[in-house]
Amino acid sequence: MKFRRGDIVLAVTVLAGAAALFLPLGGAGLWPRADMLLWIAALIVAALPALDYLARPIAAFLALLGAVMAGAALYGLIGAGARGVHAYGLWLGVIVLVVLSWRAMALSAALAAANKSNLLHLAAPILLGVWTIFMWQVLTVGFDIPRVLLPPPSDIAASMVASSRDLALDFVQTFIRAMIPGYLIGCGAGFIVGVLVDRVPFLQRGLLPLGNLVSALPIVAVAPIMVMWFGFDWQSKAAVVVIMTFFPMLVSTIAGLAALSRMELDLMRTYAATYGQTLWKARLQAAMPFIFNALKINSTLALIGAIVAEFFGTPVVGMGFRISTEVGRMNISMVWATIVVAAVAGSAAYGALALMERTVTFWHPSLRKVA
């Protein structure tokens, strides 16, 4: 029988896992019976994939199940009061869990590589995400890390539930009232100016380098000026967003309208197409990948602009306001809750744009499926 490196690692891990059962647990005394049984079962389940005659999907599933069971056992241990640096049994268990989840991730990633199913491709990243949150919870609680430094995810979730009304109002103020109008005006203006400028080569040559330069500048810093001009409410935040989103859109529109080659333009001319027809039927279509790129970049920029502008003064509502005041009150779990909302909103906006891009620029090589 030939030993593979992975099997040796697994064997060592299982032995270490067994040893963890006999090590001290800080405050908790010995392993509670239920957790002990769950832990042993987890080790056995996780060790099964080493047997060669299991099919790969089953092996991946067993590795995953073992990791989840081990995680549940450790979570029970934390609940039973295992704390502190001296809880050697707990920390050895955590190290064992790291190896087990890595193995589960590797097996599911290998399975995804051999398979075309979209669901499987999501398995490894989701596993990593869940694993990170779990580790965050176990480490912050297990090491008794002060809440003001890094609250455990359970605290953040509790804050989200408890202050869901505030969070919703902040979301409406920052996302719906400040960011979306600013985003629409900024992107719209950038697009229109881009199309107009495209007719005048002189302006085009002048604006492209300037636009590129402006894209590198810290535009967020105009926020205090906008707050002075447009007041504390959402108008000033929308103005910041307009300025931030205008230039990326302008540059992308100009670049996108220049994307068609001589050949296609000549073809349009042989059809006796007017300027408007060429613009609408050929050039704007070709510009769409560029424009969507700018729309996606801008969606992140816009949210940043709307939030940072609130650091310079707001009515008593808004994500940026919430972050800066709750930081001042050292209520860090509420800050994290707001960040979670911002992250989800930002990702959702980006995802929606990506979906739209798929339908509009279905012809683009990067989106065509290889037959």
Partner 1 sequence: MNSLAQRLRDGHALPVLAIVAVLIAVWYLGAIWLNSQRIIDLYEADEDMKGKWTTSDLIRDTLSMNRPVLPAPDQVVMELDRSVLEVAPTSNRSLLYHAWVTLSAALVGFGLGALLGIALAVAIVHVKTLERALMPWVIASQTIPILAIAPMIIVVLGSIGFVGLMPKAFISAYLCFFPVTIGMVKGLTSPEPLQLDLIRTYSANEGQIFRKLRWPASFAFLFPSLKIAVALAVVGAIVGELPTGAAAGLGARLLAGSYYGQTVQIWSALVLASLVAGLSVAAVGWAERITMRRMGGRA
Of 80, 184, 350, 360, which one interacts with partner 1 (CB under 8 A)?
350
**C-alpha closest to that of 208 among 219, 197, 217:** 197
| Minimal distance, residue 294 CB to partner 1, in Å | 14
List CB contacts of 128: < 8 A, sequence separation 6 or more.
105
Between 31 and 321, CB nearer to partner 1: 321
- Helices of type H across the chain: 5-20, 33-47, 56-79, 88-114, 118-142, 153-162, 164-171, 180-197, 201-215, 223-230, 234-257, 262-270, 275-278, 284-309, 319-328, 332-360
Q: Does 11 bind partner 1 (CB under 8 A)?
A: no
65 near partner 1 (CB under 8 A): no
- Is 320 a binding residue for partner 1 by CB under 8 A? The answer is yes
List the one residue out of 328, 327, 193 whose CA is nearest residue 252. Answer: 193
Q: How many whole angstroms separate alpha carbon 261 and alpha carbon 86?
A: 69
Q: Which of 156, 323, 337, 357 binds partner 1 (CB under 8 A)?
A: 323
Nearest 5 degrees, angle CA 272-CA 277-CA 280?
150
Residue closer to partner 1 (CB basis): 89 or 190: 190
| Contact between 110 and partner 1 per CB under 8 A | yes
Type of residue found at 61:
F
- Asked if 243 is part of the footprint of partner 1 (rule: CB under 8 A), the reply reads no
Task: Using CB under 8 A, pick the residue from 233, 327, 360, 364 that binds partner 1.
Answer: 327
Exactly one of 194, 349, 357, 361 binds partner 1 (CB under 8 A); which one?
Answer: 349
DSSP assignment, residue 51? S
Task: Report the distance separating Cα 11 and Cα 339, nearest Å.
Answer: 41
CB of 33 to partner 1, least distance (A): 34
Q: Do 197 and 254 form a contact (C-beta atoms < 8 A)?
A: yes
Using rule CB under 8 A, residue 360 touches partner 1: no
**Shorter beta-carbon distance to partner 1: residue 3 or 202:** 202
Is the CB of 10 or the CB of 109 nearer to partner 1?
A: 109
Residue 330 interacts with partner 1 (CB under 8 A): yes or no: yes
**What is the sign, positive or negative, of the torsion defined by CA atoms of 268, 271, 276, 281?**
negative
Residue from 137, 173, 338, 361 binding partner 1 (CB under 8 A): 338
Q: Closest approach of Cβ 28 to partner 1, in Å?
A: 28
Answer for which of 10, 38, 73, 105 binds partner 1 (CB under 8 A) is 105
Q: Assess 299 for contact with partner 1 (CB under 8 A).
A: yes
Of the residues 125, 144, 261, 277, which one makes contact with partner 1 according to CB under 8 A: 125
Query: Among residues 77 and 243, whose Cβ is nearest to partner 1?
Result: 243
Of the candidates 189, 178, 190, 243, which has an alpha carbon nearest to the alpha carbon of residue 217?
243
Number of chain residues interacting with partner 1 (CB under 8 A): 67
Q: What string marks each residue from 196 to 235 as x (binds partner 1 by CB under 8 A) or -?
A: ------xxxxxxxxx--x-xxxx-xxxxxx-xxx------
- Residue for token pair 């992975």: 6
CA 255 from centroid of its chain's CA atoms: 28
- Count of residues for the chain? 371
Q: Find the shortest distance in angstroms from Cβ 185 to partner 1.
A: 18
Q: Is residue 245 a contact partner of residue 298, using CB atoms and an 8 Å limit?
A: yes
Binder among 7, 23, 72, 102 for partner 1 (CB under 8 A): 102
Q: Which amino acid is at 115?
A: N
- The region, left, alpha or beta by phi > 0 then psi within -120 to 50, assigned to residue 225 is alpha
- What is the contact surface with partner 1 in residues (CB under 8 A)? 102, 105-106, 109-110, 112-113, 121, 124-125, 127-129, 148-150, 202-210, 213, 215-218, 220-225, 227-229, 299-300, 303-304, 307-308, 311-313, 319-320, 323-324, 327-328, 330, 332, 335-336, 338-339, 342-343, 346-347, 349-351
